[in-house]
């Protein structure tokens, strides 16, 4: 298959509206030409130099990858000369064609720009011809910046064409931010600057800041002073008064820049994507009637809901409370739904990070092009991919760029770092949709950065403690192997286990009952129960199985035999139910069993698998349930199977035959133990699965109904609405 072009895009502050439109144009045009793109996108600008931002700069070393064929560089979005010089030098070293966006002439790079001059001329014409203003000021951006000077030139042209002379304060340079606008407004309010009839601002941010400061000072907008902005941002539309603005053709800027770099590389002219030209959008801030209000769309509502959710849920605590990259990835897997409309996600860590546990906390983790990387979390929409376990070279950026595909891809490559340490990068793709990530994604990445630093420190400390205590392989209370002993036994006996089976079950048995209030504060009583339970487990395991105390109140069993977790649960339940324990040997307590099956050549550690086993609980034993009826355990196991796989076509007649019970007796005993019939229980489990998928995935309602075992979409909707009082779509939106 012919190699696709890979174009790098160097830009910052991607969630900003006009940046997002430029990226939309670039990616749309790239897909039109069957080309790949990789957007090197730090989450912040580089106004101030800090150790954290210095580490973020390491991501730009990917520029030196041989995979790139050329670059689009939005140089003016980087306001610090140091970072611009760093990127300039890397681009020069790469030797690849470079196209600047919205930039003044450069001695080495080509440039593509938009005609801001005509746009500002149209805005000023509107104020003069429609509203009759003559005393007008223009607040543009920084001096000697192309877009600033072009916008100011358009303002001057309009004033000149209408025979209006420029006054002392007519032409003002600012910062494309709030500071200059607030300073201008404060001067007008105090009387230090003569009051104009209107102010033309270089962007919506400046217009909003100017408007707010004028109103606070007692000057009405637009009755006393009219204000216009530029970029037609969502913030301007939501402002009161709504900002009159110009919808800049940023989409077309991105598309045209890509077409030009494509021609520089290939010598061919590619077809244009559909044009999205700019236009002036008068509104209340200049004295015009605002356009009809459009309520937020579903995307905006979802992002607001997720933004509230991420700030008030336990994501940061959950992903931080881990001690290895593998465990961290398992936890993070539960929170990828925050990346709205994500199609593919790859969390890539450097080999220096994944092996940092053997170093010291004070060691610095840097990055060089060619460093080995490992994908610790790979997701395609809601499905996790466990196959990508090998290291790859950062020269390749991502393995996907070397794969043979029928379709082009676009990824946003964002650095993962904390203070001076560089951990790797996150890569997110929105599939065929030419989208950019939202502000919510920046919060998500920042949480990951904090968590990865904590995981690094904890893994180093745990490894140090483990080395010091490794000689003590047995637990003093139970006499079983402790965590270190289980790990060592697994390493030593791995080859023998492989002779029996190519995979092993990692079983985690947790004494959940020791968390009950009656045991709290009584360490002696807890120790006796744990010791008695340890003896019970010892009587259930086979000679070729490894078992021990994994944590304070949980046991581990590693076995090459299939379905041993079912046998162990039944044996433990039977021994507890049929035995009369003395005070010293009592272990009649609630416990649960979870299991994770892994190939023995996968390289997954016992710690990771046993953590997954904790999440994958398959059986639970409850003391409060009577065990007088010998069928109880069978029914309890049956309910566990239904809970785990509610989508299966469960049939009461078949279940009764399997358990050697009559249908009526089965239904009677099931309802007696669990308070509801088998069918009602199955429906509840199906609806619970449906609610989870509606809340955490982008699957269609039709696909969710099939995933939950419904052959009829309409029946699923009726059953869901009867249970929840709303349709699945309404539930998802809520």
What CATH number did the domain enclosing 552 receive?
Answer: 3.30.70.270
664 and 552 part of one domain? no
In a domain, 67, yes or no: no
CA distance 358 to 351: 12
In a domain, 726, yes or no: yes
* For residue 329, pLDDT beyond 80: yes
In a domain, 339, yes or no: yes
**What is the count of structural domains for the chain?**
4
Percent of the chain, pLDDT > 70? 92
**CATH number of the domain encompassing residue 659:** 1.10.10.60
In a domain, 446, yes or no: yes
545 and 617 part of one domain? yes
493 and 593 part of one domain? yes
171-173/136-140 β-pairing: parallel
551 and 653 part of one domain? no
**CATH number of the domain encompassing residue 126:** 3.40.50.2300
CA distance 156 to 121: 8
Residue for token digits 């962007």?
A: 203
In a domain, 723, yes or no: yes
357 and 233 part of one domain? no
Domain that residue 437 falls in = 322-407+423-468
In a domain, 171, yes or no: yes
455 and 482 part of one domain? no
* pLDDT at site 37: 96
pLDDT digits (tens, 9 = 90+) for 463-492: 766 555 555 688 877 888 888 889 888 988
474 and 523 part of one domain? yes
The crossing angle, in degrees rounded to 10, of helices 325-332 and 439-469 is: 150
442 and 532 part of one domain? no
In a domain, 535, yes or no: yes
497 and 619 part of one domain? yes
Q: Where are the alpha helices (DSSP H) in 604-660?
A: 606-615, 632-644, 652-659
Q: What pLDDT band is residue 496 in, cutting at 50, 70 and 90?
A: confident
Q: CA 667, 566, 650 angle in degrees (round to 5)?
A: 35
pLDDT digits (tens, 9 = 90+) for 573-622: 877 766 544 444 567 788 899 999 988 887 778 888 888 888 888 888 87
488 and 616 part of one domain? yes
474 and 620 part of one domain? yes
Would the pTM count as exceeding 0.85?
no
Range of lowest pLDDT (173-177, 263-267, 309-313, 692-696): 309-313
478 and 445 part of one domain? no
> What is the DSSP annotation of 598-613?
EETTS---HHHHHHHH
CA distance 84 to 255: 23
In a domain, 366, yes or no: yes
Boundary-marking domain end, from 192, 226, 248: 248
Boundary-marking domain end, from 216, 248, 280: 248
Q: What pLDDT band is residue 626 in, cutting at 50, 70 and 90?
A: very low
């Amino acid at each position: 298959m012919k190699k696709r072009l890979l174009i790098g895009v160097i830009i910052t502050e991607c969630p900003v509206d006009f940046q997002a439109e430029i990226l939309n144009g670039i990616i749309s045009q790239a897909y039109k030409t069957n080309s790949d793109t990789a957007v090197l996108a730090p989450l912040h600008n580089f106004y101030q130099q800090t150790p954290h931002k210095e580490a973020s700069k390491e991501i730009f070393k990917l520029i030196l990858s041989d995979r790139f064929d050329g670059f689009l560089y939005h140089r003016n979005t980087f306001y610090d000369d140091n970072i611009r010089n760093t990127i300039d030098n890397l681009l020069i070293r790469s030797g690849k064609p470079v196209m600047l966006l919205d930039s003044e002439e450069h001695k080495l790079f080509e440039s593509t720009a938009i005609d801001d001059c005509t746009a500002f001329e149209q805005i000023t014409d509107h104020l003069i011809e429609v509203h009759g203003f003559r005393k007008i000021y223009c607040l543009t951006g920084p001096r000697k910046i192309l877009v600033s000077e072009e916008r100011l030139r358009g303002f001057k042209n309009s004033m000149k064409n209408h025979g209006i002379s420029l006054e002392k304060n007519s032409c003002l340079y600012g910062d494309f931010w709030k500071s200059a606008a607030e300073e201008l407004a404060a001067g007008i309010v105090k009387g230090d600057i003569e009051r104009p009839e209107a102010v033309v601002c270089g962007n919506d941010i400046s217009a909003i800041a100017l408007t707010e400061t004028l109103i606070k000072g007692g000057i009405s907008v637009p009755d006393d002073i009219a204000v216009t902005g530029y970029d037609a941002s969502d913030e301007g539309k939501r402002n009161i008064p709504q900002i009159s603005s110009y919808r800049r053709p940023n989409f077309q800027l991105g598309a045209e820049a890509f077409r030009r770099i494509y021609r520089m590389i290939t010598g061919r002219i590619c077809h244009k994507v559909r044009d999205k030209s700019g236009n002036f959008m008068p509104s209340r801030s200049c004295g015009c009637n605002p356009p009809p209000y459009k309520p937020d769309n579903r995307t905006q509502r979802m992002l607001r809901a997720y933004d509230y959710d991420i700030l008030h849920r336990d994501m940061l605590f959950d992903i931080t409370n881990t001690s290895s990259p593998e465990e961290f990835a398992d936890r993070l897997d539960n929170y990828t739904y925050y990346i709205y409309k994500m199609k593919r996600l790859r969390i890539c860590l450097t080999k220096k990070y994944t092996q940092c546990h053997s170093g010291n906390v004070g060691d610095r983790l840097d990055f060089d092009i060619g460093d080995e990387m490992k994908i610790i979390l790979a997701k395609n929409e809601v499905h996790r991919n466990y196959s990508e376990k090998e290291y790859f070279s950062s020269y390749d950026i991502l393995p996907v760029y070397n794969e043979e595909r029928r379709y082009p891809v676009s990824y946003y490559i964002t650095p993962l770092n904390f203070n001076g340490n560089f951990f790797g990068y996150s890569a997110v793709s929105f599939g065929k949709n030419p989208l950019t990530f939202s502000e919510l994604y920046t919060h998500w990445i920042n949480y990951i950065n904090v968590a990865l630093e904590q995981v690094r420190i904890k893994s180093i400390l745990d490894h140090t403690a483990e080395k010091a205590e490794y000689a003590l392989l047995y637990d003093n209370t139970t006499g079983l192997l402790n965590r270190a002993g289980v790990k060592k036994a697994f390493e030593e006996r791995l080859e023998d286990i492989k002779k029996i089976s190519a995979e092993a079950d990692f079983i985690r048995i947790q004494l959940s009952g020791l968390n009950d209030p009656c045991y709290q504060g009584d360490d002696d009583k807890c120790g006796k129960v744990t010791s008695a339970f340890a003896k019970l487990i010892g009587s259930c395991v086979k000679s070729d199985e490894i078992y021990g105390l994994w944590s304070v109140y949980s046991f581990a069993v590693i076995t090459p035999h299939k379905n041993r977790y079912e046998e162990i649960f039944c044996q433990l339940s039977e021994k507890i139910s049929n035995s009369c324990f003395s005070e010293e040997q009592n272990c009649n307590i609630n416990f649960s069993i979870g299991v994770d099956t892994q190939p023995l050549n996968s390289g997954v550690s016992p710690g990771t698998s046993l953590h997954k086993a904790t999440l994958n609980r398959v059986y639970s034993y409850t003391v409060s349930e009577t065990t007088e009826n010998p069928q109880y355990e069978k029914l309890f196991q049956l309910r566990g199977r239904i809970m785990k796989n509610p989508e299966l076509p469960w049939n009461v007649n078949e279940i009764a035959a399997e358990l050697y019970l009559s249908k009526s007796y089965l239904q009677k005993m099931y309802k007696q133990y669990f308070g509801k019939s088998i069918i009602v229980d199955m429906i509840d489990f199906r609806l619970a699965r449906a609610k989870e998928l509606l809340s955490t995935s982008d699957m269609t309602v039709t696909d969710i109904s099939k995933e939950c075992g419904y052959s009829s979409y309409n029946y699923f909707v009726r059953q869901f609405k009867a249970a929840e009082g709303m349709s699945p779509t309404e539930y998802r939106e809520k």
